[in-house]
Structure 1
């Protein structure tokens, strides 16, 4: 079918971004002339956006009202663009390998049924970093927050998916490092408990049955070095590991446990 191009027609540059990227059109005050190429580009981009919006809407509907017949298809094509290296069994089984900072955030979540922004971001990116699938993270936080489903979906669902690279610009956000966690220490955030509220470290030592004097530990091993020392006690390793991130702590702890089981 022949496409009839209107005379003196103009189109806004954002509607033909693929042509802009290849510098195939001239832009004047945000607009370019209508021609066969710009019309084709516009139609393809609009149809692509339409499909993406409809598929995202359908996926969100699936989260609210799951249908087992379609779950595998959505998981395969839309949930995990990057494959998870190791199979994630369950949060309950893996929580024992959490570092003191994540232990503190989980404890705060249990007691308050809510997390402020920094703690929420820290935890979501950590769970992503250790291989917890996005649908399990959504389910866990949905059950942990003292909110009804409608409020949770409105306020937190997009943010969780965005952190997993499934919304917005679909960026691959890395988990926070120890230095980043250290910068988050305040009344609203757990951050690094060795630099902030040391109550979480005391509780962690008690739960793990580690007999260390916390004050002496922090004096001799400031910041993340104290965390490295605790991990060294847990995994009984001759050379003390240097912890650079919560995920790093988790992986070393879990890998050592897996070797012991084998």
Structure 2
């Protein structure tokens, strides 16, 4: 849909100005209409990028050469801006593939889509802000000195570099107050003169020289000031955007799509039953000890001890077992044999519980072939209450109880400390990945953990017992490589609507973003 009249002209001018810059604070929302397929593709690609940012931030020192190299490669592969060039976009020779304008447009639009999806809860907002801040830090550090100064002035951060004469006059003070600055390096360093109220963090840590209400910040430390400003702006924007949620939730086309994004899983679809019959009921106990993630291991243990699981536990564990290869007949036999050892006789099981097992396999009700829960779904939906055993142990367990569980499973004290530090930083999937590494005696897992069934498959591959399963799942993965960009069934139905209805939908997003 094309813009008409004055609105179209304003939109084009605003976009030209925004996308002419290598970096932005995302202060202005996108002003164009896009298709739902592009909407969802942009959002999923950015989610992949932010998950890479999270993983690299724990695995490597931020801003290190290896960290920057891997993040740059991921940005490049997803067609996001990855290396700002000196000069304007028009000055450079055209390159094959998406142009720099296209990449900056994608970056801008995808940020606002995820802003709307991730403003819904405090946990989502916290995670989104942290990853966006880390991504911004990387991008700002890649700017040329001139581009940094232009960025500061363009965003009303009137921080100028001091003159050579002033630097010489203050040389001794700057050297003594700034870490890593010597008499040799100070000559090649730019120093920014910043009002002290804008740099309270570095003043508090006594890392800079303070004089007459101004602090003198070395070139490499100005990013701290900019990040504080970016974090503040983004936090406020998310809070304002959250006020639009009632209006968003009233639209049956938007709500499922945005909920899908906030719980999105961007890996293999484990609902494909290519593995049926690959495991036997007799194997489950041994597999649980060596190849189940902690969430499924504790569900299996609770089932064996109590001979019962509540609905949340049955769904989470039952779909996981379905994903690793348990057939419907095996599943019915497994749950019946366990429940009748407790307070449920065979007749009651058939009347009260067998239906839900068949329902998981798409044989009852709406005949939906349910997908095993991803890590994001386990972490963010249906938190366990007293008497429940489902959920993510790293997210929902008391730290002391989690420590006891890890000790019981023979995790080393240093390993427990590493896991608890990740949990403290709310990196729950990374904590599970560290648990994988410690229990499988590998220093660095070669995958990014996003799904309990992925944990099982990687474990089996590593232990050498999952070769046949790998051949089967590889075919499933190839057939599902674009599944993460398809979204919910509601979103797909909406994508088939006439262009006019799609245009109306994206115009509604305009008003939501404007409020932010």
Shorter-chain TM-score category?
A: 0.5 to 0.7
Q: TM-score, normalised by structure 1?
A: 0.61
Any gaps of 5 or more consecutive residues in structure 2?
Answer: 1-271, 468-516
Q: Secondary structure at 2:464's aligned position in 1?
A: helix
1:193-213 Cα distance to aligned partner (Å, 9 max, x none): 101125356424532444422
Counterpart-to-counterpart distance in 1, 2:407 and 2:364: 38
Find the counterpart in structure 2 of residue 238 from structure 1.
Answer: 444
Instruction: Check if 1:180 corresponds to 2:385.
Output: no
> Which shifted more, 107-116 or 139-148?
107-116
CA shift in 2, pair 1:141/1:239, >3 Å: closer
Counterpart-to-counterpart distance in 1, 2:354 and 2:466: 38
1:157-201 Cα distance to aligned partner (Å, 9 max, x none): 111011012223322211001111112332234301101125356
Supply the RMSD in Å over aligned alpha carbons.
2.8
Counterpart-to-counterpart distance in 2, 1:203 and 1:106: 14
Counterpart-to-counterpart distance in 2, 1:201 and 1:165: 38
Instruction: Check if 1:160 corresponds to 2:354.
Output: no
Find the counterpart in structure 2 of residue 256 from structure 1.
Answer: 462
Counterpart-to-counterpart distance in 2, 1:100 and 1:202: 13
CA shift in 2, pair 1:175/1:208, >3 Å: farther
Shift of 1:239: 4.4
Counterpart-to-counterpart distance in 2, 1:134 and 1:243: 27
CA shift in 2, pair 1:202/1:258, >3 Å: farther
- Structure whose alpha-carbon radius of gyration is higher: 2
Find the counterpart in structure 1 of residue 408 from structure 2.
Answer: 206
Shift of 1:152: 0.3
1:5-47 Cα distance to aligned partner (Å, 9 max, x none): xxxxxxxxxxxxxxxxxxxxxxxxxxxxxxxxxxxxxxxxxxx
After TM superposition, list the pairs within 5 Å mapping 1:1-262 onto structure 2.
82-84=273-275, 87-89=278-280, 90-96=283-289, 97-145=291-339, 146=342, 147-182=344-379, 183-187=381-385, 188-198=388-398, 199=401, 202-211=404-413, 212=415, 213=417, 214-219=419-424, 222-235=427-440, 236-239=442-445, 241-258=447-464
Counterpart-to-counterpart distance in 1, 2:350 and 2:465: 40
Determine which structure has greater relative contact order: mean sequence separation of CA pairs < 8 Å that are 6+ residues apart, divided by chain length: 2
Q: TM-score, normalised by structure 2?
A: 0.32
Find the counterpart in structure 2 of residue 41 from structure 1.
Answer: none
Q: How many corresponding residue pairs?
A: 182
